[in-house]
Amino acid sequence: MDLGQSSRSNDDNEDEIWAKLVPIDSRYQEIELRSQDTLICSEVRDSSNEKFTWCEISGNLDNDSARIRNLSSNKIIVDGTAVGEEVVDIKCGSKLTSGPCKKGFLSYTFEFLPSQRRERKSMKISLDVEHAKCSICLNIWHDVVTVAPCLHNFCNGCFSEWLRRSSTRSQDKQKSVVCPQCRAIIYSVGRNHFLHTLEEAILEKFSSLKHSDEEIAQLDTYALVKSNLVLGIEKKTSRKRPLSSSDEGSGADLPCPQCGIAIGGFRCGRVTTHLQCQGCGGLMPSRPDVGVPQHCLGCNRAFCGPYWHSQGVDPNEYDIICNQQTFRPISDRTISRLPDSIHQNNQYEKDVTDRCIQKMGKTLQAVISDWITKFDNQEIDRSRLQLFHAETITSRTHLCIDCYDKLVDFLLYWFRLTTPRSFLPPDASGRENCWYGYTCRTQHHNPDHAHKRNHVCRPTRGNPFP
């Protein structure tokens, strides 16, 4: 480990320094604490340059207090008191020694730092629970969605069932969908991630308001809103000339090609739900019954290429229709170069992997194909795959380009774990594993550390003292 390194054990997004350890001996660097629970790894003896993880400091940023836990095999000294395995409180100005005595061991002063972010985090948001209820089921939202333009909020399952029944009851296919609360015409609906956070906070404080397990299961079964749905196009006043009879049916200003004419035996009505493609921005009708995937299973985003291809639509006839390469089955994809994002964006590890493949005399496509076969045969632990529905993905699953790159990263991680050292380049075969493995933050800003330690490995903890 590099001098003065600390490792976050929970939230990688909290990158602001909240405290630091200032060494009594000015020859050593300060240790910055960048999360509420930080492992301290540094030199512990003034006679050796070896680094060890010797304690963990947990901070309570709401009241500027902290606790320290000894991780070494020896005692440490906290404010003059020897500390064994117990957890003790520390405050700003506390004196910490990394061993059982001050002679021969390094000592530090613990200091809190002011932070605008901590002031923001302590801000409380007041919300009347009555304003967080779905007007359909009259309970706290579950997987809340917001409709536009009236901006009323409902459970995903409740609104989806309302939408289904509205479509079933309507004899007039051109009839608009209306808001269950105010009866205004709805043009779109989408999941509201901000209100979902408030929903979780309310249920954490008032657990008695939570839906029963049976209700949640039923709501999840009804839920149709996975991405933004377009339910109609808002009419806007125009100063253009009225359409002549020859203009009708041209498809101008219509949500999608099937809103203008029947294609493949289907034409959209006013109550037809539309999905917005994340690849090209165009619209397509939501038709889960046609057997053609319209959502990427890895990220739940909508893509239109396979749907329009199944309907026989010629992309050259329309301005906005997604290229089929954007969204296709895993087994139909080819790959000739390593994605830049693999191995946590560590370009040195990417180069090592590239040289391993070349030394084996294989192509990247051959390596990926071999590991997709292992993936299909359930030979790989999928717990680290950063995709939704990871356990249900197969080689026939449609994935978008972004999710495919994440899958390639995952497969190459396992490729490297199982590669014999004899296939590693000489400058990489003798490296020791970084204690923090692929989670290490230092690899991103310290080139020497990225070269010196192997980061394509699982996180482990080092032995504090021999």
218-234 pLDDT per residue, tens = 998 888 888 777 775 55
What is the per-residue pLDDT across 128-145, written as a single tens digit (0 to 9) for each? 677 888 989 888 999 999
Q: Binning pLDDT at 50, 70 and 90, where does residue 120 land?
A: very low
pLDDT at position 248, please? 39
Mean pLDDT value of segment 185-197 = 87
Q: What is the predicted pLDDT for the residue at 212? A: 87
pTM of the model: 0.54
3-state secondary structure string, the chain?
A: CCCCEEEECCCCCCCCCCEEEEECCCCCCCEEECCCEEEEEEECECCCCCEEEEEEEEEECCCCEEEEEECCCCCEEECCEEECCCEEEECCCCEEECCCCCCCECEEEEEECCCHHHHHHCCCCCCCHHHHECCCCCCECCCEEEEECCCCEEEHHHHHHHHHHHHHHCCCCCCCCECCCCCCECCEEEECHHHHHHHHHHHHHCHHHCCCHHHHHHHHHHCCCCCCEECCCCCCCCCCCCCCCCCCCCCCCCCCHHHHCCECCECCCCCCCEEECCCCCCEEECCHHHCCCCECCCCCCECCHHHHHHCCCCHHHCCCCCCHHHEEEHHHCCCCCCCCCCHHHCHHHHHHHHHHHHHCCCCHHHHHHHHHHHHHCCCCCCCCCCCCCHHHCCCCCEEEHHHHHHHHHHHHHHHHHCCCHHHCCHHHHCCEECCCHHHCCHHHCCHHHHHHEECCCCCCCCCCCC
Most confidently modeled range among 13-17, 82-86, 208-212, 426-430:
426-430
> Using one digit for the tens of pLDDT, what is the confidence trace for 268-299?
887 788 888 888 778 899 998 899 999 999 99
Could you give the domains of the chain? Answer: 5-121 (2.60.200.20), 129-225 (3.30.40.10), 257-322 (3.30.40.140), 343-430 (no CATH)
